[in-house]
């Protein structure tokens, strides 16, 4: 049995802003059958503490970055959850990383340095008599943990894995905070945690962790290029022997379609059109569930939409983000009967969109792994995706070869431009009109391997390889 401490800033079902939460929440149960005992450490945000409570205290520190801190034990399914309760850092209104107005908390560096420090101390000293062999750090919020572990003198017996979920977020802090964050000054150089005369928590993790991973094989390759590495490509090229891409999966027990064959979708498509106020048109009903940002390609979708709408297709969108994009899609919906827009996030509506849609659009400029296309595959809601990251690894394109082999599960497009997306939308409509081909693609999609089974086995083997023997 390999003992692993997973360190993350969010985790379903307690707190979620993106796919990281889904991964952190799913991994412990997925890994258990593979001989891994994973316990998870997350921050005690106000909503989390209300859910977990303060009944079982298992660790405490009088001064953790400016105030007292306690660790309480809870449950994550059948697995142990540890919650870092530091009221001076986490007990506040707003979201995990920002206030109610969307502004980053000014003390985010200290807030997540505290998470990293607590993780390193637990890894070094154990907790409740439990000693982890591997510390699995997720994204920049846990990036300092491998460095703190080294400073505690425990990196020779506890291994560390740093996983990049999205390299766009790097945990940048001013150089003047070196002492505040308890970092060794010797590491403030280009081969350490220094990044353009600032501190980078993510770079610290990439430099000091024993192994590195990211959430798809293609994204792992992309990260070593200037186009995708966002200034850290050199670090990753230097450590490419230690970098592995492991695809995310989804919990098939949670994401289960209410129908067993393509024929069952018609009922849910009709219900979705009625709910979203869309007419019964002959073309495909496309759905999109996303943060509304340029990274997700939503600006080029606005330009390409006529290629879908002029051919009888429709779009039902659920998301929030950039204010200009929100207003643009609301305006489109007000002006065109084939578009429906809901601003915000609603988990139940997201499921109805996936169940009722014919296709799911993911036109991202970059996408480390992506989960919505996996939900689409599971439900026979064919993904139309950009050829990047995990989208390239999980969707089999309806190319002549893919169609001839009877293996296609969706449509890919490249480059990520409005023109290429428009051509892909036209291709999607043509495929939809060919009912035997579309039905075959739906069956292929619904049979696609999207669970955690294979990836969990990969992680388990990686952890086992990393364990340090005395």
> What is the pLDDT, as a whole number, of residue 254?
84
> What is the pLDDT, as a whole number, of residue 345?
84
| pTM reported for the whole predicted model | 0.92
Q: What is the domain class of 2-249+453-466 according to CATH?
A: alpha beta
> For the chain, where do the domains classified as CATH 3.40.50.2000 start and end?
2-249+453-466, 262-446
Spell out a b/e string for 116-134, using b for 16 or more CB atoms within 10 Å of the CB, else e: bbbbbbbbbeebeeeebbb
What region does 197 belong to: left with phi over 0, alpha with psi -120 to 50, or beta? left
CA nearest neighbour of 7 among 125, 97, 117: 117
> What is the pLDDT, as a whole number, of residue 470?
60
> What is the pLDDT, as a whole number, of residue 129?
97
CA distances from 255 to 373, 376, 397 (A): 12, 10, 23
Q: Are 73 and 39 in contact (CB under 8 A)?
A: no
pLDDT tens for the chain, 470 residues: list them: 999 999 999 999 999 988 899 999 999 999 999 999 999 999 999 999 999 999 999 999 999 999 999 999 999 999 999 999 999 999 999 899 999 888 999 999 999 999 999 999 999 999 999 999 999 999 999 999 999 999 999 999 999 999 999 999 999 999 999 999 999 999 999 999 999 999 999 999 999 999 999 999 999 999 999 999 999 999 999 999 999 999 999 988 889 999 999 999 999 999 999 999 999 999 999 999 998 999 999 999 999 999 999 999 999 999 998 999 999 999 999 999 999 999 998 989 999 999 999 999 999 999 999 999 999 999 999 999 999 999 999 999 999 999 999 999 999 999 999 999 999 999 999 999 999 999 999 999 999 999 999 999 999 999 999 999 86
The residues near 219 (Cβ < 8 Å, ≥ 6 apart) are 228, 245, 366, 367, 368, 369, 388, 389, 390
**Fold annotation for 262-446:** Rossmann fold (3.40.50)
> What is the pLDDT, as a whole number, of residue 19?
86
CA angle, residues 275, 276, 280, in degrees to nearest 5: 90
Q: What tokens were used for 118?
A: 């607590």
Bond from prior residue into 159 cis (ω within 30 degrees of 0): no
Ligand-binding site membership of 16 (annotated): yes
Q: Are 399 and 408 in contact (CB under 8 A)?
A: yes
d(C-alpha 329, C-alpha 303), whole Å: 11
Q: Are 155 and 134 in contact (CB under 8 A)?
A: no
Which 3-state string (H, E, C) describes the chain?
CEEEEEECCCECCCECCCHHHHHHHHHHHHHHHHCEEEEEEEECCHHHHHHHCCCCEEEEECCCCCCCEEEEEEEECCEEEEEEECHHHHCCCCCCCECCCCCECCCHHHHHHHHHHHHHHHHHHCECCECCCEEEEECHHHCCHHHHHHHCCCCCCCEEEEEECCCCCCCEEEHHHCCCCCCCHHHCCCCCCEECCEEEHHHHHHHHCCEEEECCHHHHHHCCCHHHHCCCHHHHHHCHHHEEECCCCCCCCCCCCCCCCHHHHHHHHHHHHHHHCCCCCCCCEEEEEEEECCCCCHHHHHHHHHHHHCCCCEEEEEEEECHHHHHHHHHHHHHCCCEEEEECCCHHHHHHHHHHCCEEEECCCCCCCCCHHHHHHHHCCEEEEECCHHHHHHCCECCHHHHHCCCCCEEEECCCCHHHHHHHHHHHHHHHHCHHHHHHHHHHHHCCCCCCHHHHHHHHHHHHHHCCCC
Is residue 387 classed exposed, middle or buried when 0-12, 13-18 and 19+ CB atoms within 10 A define those classes? middle
């Amino acid at each position: 049995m390999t003992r692993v401490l997973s360190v993350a800033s969010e985790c379903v079902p307690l707190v979620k802003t993106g796919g990281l939460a889904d991964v952190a929440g799913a991994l412990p149960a997925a890994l258990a059958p593979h001989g891994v005992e994973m316990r998870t450490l997350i921050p005690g945000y106000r909503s989390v503490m209300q859910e977990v409570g303060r009944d079982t205290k298992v660790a405490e520190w009088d001064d953790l970055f400016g105030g007292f801190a306690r660790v309480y034990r809870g449950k994550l399914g059948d697995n142990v959850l540890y919650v870092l309760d530091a009221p001076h850092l986490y007990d506040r209104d707003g979201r995990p990383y920002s206030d109610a107005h969307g502004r980053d908390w000014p003390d985010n560096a200290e807030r997540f340095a505290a998470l990293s420090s607590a993780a390193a101390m637990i890894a070094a000293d154990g907790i409740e008599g439990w000693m982890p062999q591997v510390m699995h750090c997720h994204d920049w919020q846990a990036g300092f943990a491998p460095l703190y572990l080294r400073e505690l003198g425990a990196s020779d017996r506890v291994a560390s894995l740093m996983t990049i979920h999205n390299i766009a977020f790097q945990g940048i802090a001013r150089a003047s905070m070196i002492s505040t964050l308890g970092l060794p000054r010797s590491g403030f150089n280009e081969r350490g945690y220094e990044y353009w005369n600032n501190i980078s928590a993510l770079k610290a993790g990439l430099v000091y962790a024993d192994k590195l991973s990211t959430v798809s094989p293609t994204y792992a390759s992309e990260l070593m290029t200037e186009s995708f590495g966002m200034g850290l490509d050199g670090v990753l090229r230097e450590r490419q022997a230690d970098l592995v891409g492991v695809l995310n999966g989804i919990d098939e027990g949670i994401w289960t379609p209410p129908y067993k064959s393509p024929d069952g979708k018609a009922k849910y498509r009709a219900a979705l059109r009625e709910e979203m106020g869309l007419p019964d048109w002959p073309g495909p009903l496309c759905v999109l569930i996303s943060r509304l940002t340029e990274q997700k390609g939503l600006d080029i979708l606005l330009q390409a939409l006529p290629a879908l709408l002029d051919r009888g297709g429709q779009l039902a969108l659920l998301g929030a983000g950039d204010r200009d994009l929100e207003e643009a899609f609301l305006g489109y919906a007000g002006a065109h009967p084939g578009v429906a827009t809901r601003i915000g996030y609603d988990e139940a509506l997201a499921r109805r969109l996936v169940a009722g849609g014919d296709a799911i659009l993911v036109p991202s400029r970059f996408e480390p792994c992506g989960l919505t296309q996996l939900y689409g595959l599971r439900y026979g809601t064919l993904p139309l995706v950009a050829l990047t990251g995990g989208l390239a690894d999980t969707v089999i394109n309806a190319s002549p070869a893919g169609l001839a082999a009877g293996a296609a599960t969706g449509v890919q497009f490249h480059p990520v431009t409005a023109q290429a997306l428009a051509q892909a939308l036209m291709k999607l409509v043509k495929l939809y009109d060919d009912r035997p081909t579309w039905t075959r693609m739906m069956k292929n999609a619904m049979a696609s391997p999207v669970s955690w089974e294979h990836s969990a086995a990969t992680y388990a083997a990686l952890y086992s390889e990393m364990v340090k023997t005395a």
